[in-house]
Structure 1
């Protein structure tokens, strides 16, 4: 409801009109129901207004960078009527250039990726690349289900996008998941020029578990222990945009959720935190903060019911203290987990602002 308030309001209005047409407004129960419906519509209207102010939250966060690191102003485009009416549409049909390409020499069924790109790009185009890592609690999800609105926005801006699958638990055991993300980065470095991409500029993004993997990949570019069999490959990235990610499995600052530990121990790590504390710590982006971190835009909703916003806030604060590159933290008011799975009004504004940040980082590297 928080992402589709206008749709919920329209549905309720139609149902209310039908009820009034059949039963009139005479009974006390109908009158009470109408009053509740009107109150509900007021709440939904406010939710829509909050979503429409998403760009303001990004603007406030970008302003904290200060000159010369500040992100140049860019007028946000108001979502079209068609985008509001059909939030599930994205540019996959328009931009998909290759699907289910194997990105590992010993590829299994999950080692597959899709390439999205603007039409007509040649090998000399050298467009910046965005790697999209899906979420799903490290156990479910696929490349077709997530990231569509952002990849559409970035292709509109001339970028090349890559969406990957990776091995999933419980069949996969950590660190299989991050190893696969790094394998895909190595593949991009060697092959993306064929699709018009620049192997020298790769940004990584993802939501939830994908946000965790994106942040960890960005902070461990020089860690060859996560590159078994391809230690020679360059898996560094030049920017990262983790969305509502998990940043610490050890709960070192009390911002995590202890009730997730049994699930993680049984299905993902296959070891408890007490049995293998180093494994849990090394899987945490919070354990890999350093001055060499790339520019990072961290986005989280204040109403996230799955991953507390306090953890993202703590991670962003700690990273900003040590990184030599810009670290931006955006708290989206009234926003839940996985808000960007489809193109809601909030998502439309958010992906424009993410695109604005990534374009700025790319331009800055070229200067």
Structure 2
């Protein structure tokens, strides 16, 4: 028993270290490192609780009298200090994102909202939420599943989340695009904390599947995203949504696709056969996205995605089709008329480095007329907001602030 306790202490200490250390050039080990850091960092307090409970139980039975178990206790103690630090770091997310919103939208941005909409905003997070990280359901939310938006079978289905009670003027719409390296992923797997939160507060959220590589080559992915926007414009009023206000979000590959869709409204090459459809969106919130497939600034030269993209996603090299590679990069489409955008990225992202987000935001802020908000989260890993955590729930609150602000400003412009 003492040997098992020592082993668990060693594993716990190692996993906590992965969440604390910003590691980069990991090559084949990057997915393993990410997985350990992701679960350790976002579930820090839960890990701390079970480890302390285990230690107390073994102490009661006298197991800690053994020297090997005492060495394990030392490793656990080091892990606990790291886990407490990670929890405190996650609690700081509210301050960081609120400061980013004030810098991008103005100190008193909440004052532009009606008193009714100000009441739906939240500042704190509930332990009852982050202590049950995989409990997604929320009262008052209806879900319509597996609705077809195009002719791609299962890969062209969407789900709709919306309140049970109607909203005057219709629900503003948020379109969620899942990630997964353009090759895996399902609409049911990501952004549920955000979608349920918004649906409880008078928003309609649409989560889509889209065609995946290697069965489909780019630009099939963005074409499907555009098809879903066109479908929303045409059909969402049947579910109580307002087709005139659509925001878009997504993480990783979904961050790439959502930002690309936001920056290429009515782009004919991405709308074959439905060129006349209006695919403009009114706001975008990309999470930890890939913004430059060409990596023109050599941000990740030793961890390049080029071979994977060439072989499976683009299914051509950049030399064979430079125009396609260029047009597939959101960075290439930065322009002054881009919609309001809230870009979110973690400093410790192992899979998509934070410098990519910084470069993209810098380019946007130089030319965009509309606000560009950038939230850089210390210690956050890739995919941090997939399930409930302290960091996730604070981020969901901040995204709600941003979307409510953009919707209120859009309504004011219409008036």
Q: Same fold (TM over 0.5)?
A: yes
Distance 1:93 1:277, change over 3 A: farther
Single out whichever of 10-19 and 142-151 deviates more from structure 2.
10-19
Unpaired segments of 5 or more residues in structure 1? Answer: none
Of 186, 189, 196, 2:230 maps to 186
Structure 2 residues without counterparts, runs of 5 or longer: 1-39, 113-117
**8 Å CA contact retained: 2:183, 2:214:** yes
- C-alpha displacement at 1:170, in angstroms? 0.5
1:267 aligns with 2:267: no
More divergent stretch after superposition (318-327 vs 7-16): 7-16
Q: 1:223 to 1:256 in 2, by over 3 A?
A: farther
Q: 1:307-362, CA deviations, whole angstroms, 9 ceiling, x for partnerless residues?
A: 00000011001011111100011100000000011011110110010000000010
After TM superposition, the structure 1 = structure 2 runs for residues 326-341 of structure 1, keeping only pairs within 5 Å, are: 326-341=371-386
Structure-2-length-normalised TM-score: 0.84
TM-fit CA distance, 1:119 = 0.2
Residue deviations 1:277-298 (CA, integer Å, cap 9, x gap): 2211110000001011000000
Q: How does 1:239-254 map to 2 (within 5 A)?
A: 239-254=283-298
Matched, 1:61 2:107: no
1:98 matched to 2:98? The reply is no
Cα 1:68–1:92 shift into 2, 3 Å: closer
SS of the residue 1:99 aligns to: strand
Correspondence 1:205 to 2:270: no
Partner residue, 2:324: 279
The count of corresponding residues between Structure 1 and Structure 2 is: 365
SS in 2 for 1:254: coil
Q: In the alignment, is the contact (CA less than 8 A) between 1:92 and 1:116 conserved in 2? A: no
Q: Which residue of 1 aligns with 2:67?
A: 28
Match of 1:79 in 2: 125
Report the counterpart of residue 187 of structure 2 in structure 1: 143
- Does residue 46 of structure 2 align to residue 7 of structure 1? yes
Cα distance in 2 between the residues matched to 1:354 and 1:251: 28
Superposed CA offset, 1:18-66 (max 9, x none): 3323334433333222222122111101111111111111122123226
Please say if residues 69 and 326 of structure 1, whose CA atoms lie closer than 8 Å, have aligned partners that are also in contact. Answer: no
**Larger mean Cα displacement after TM superposition, 81-90 or 356-365:** 81-90
> For residues 193-221 of structure 1, what are the alpha-carbon distances to aligned partners after superposition, in whole Å with 9 as ceiling and x for unaligned?
11111111000000000010000000000
In 1, Cα distance between equivalents of 2:334 and 2:110: 23
CA deviation string 1:106-135 (max 9, x = no partner)? 34221100111000327x641210000000
Q: Which of 302, 306, 315 does residue 347 from structure 2 map onto? A: 302
Q: Determine the structure 2 residue equivalent to 1:39.
A: 78
SS in 2 for 1:41: helix
Q: Matched residues in 2 for 1:69 and 1:263: separation?
A: 45
1:111 partnered with 2:150: no
Structure (1/2) with the larger helix percentage = 2
SS at 2:153 equivalent? coil
Distance 1:103 1:135 in 2: 19
Task: Please report the RMSD computed on the Cα atoms of aligned residues, expressed in angstroms.
Answer: 1.9
Partner Cα distance (2:268, 2:46) in 1: 48
Distance 2:110 2:339 in 1: 16
For 1:225 and 1:82, the matched residues in 2 are separated by 47
Pairwise CA distance, 1:141 = 0.4
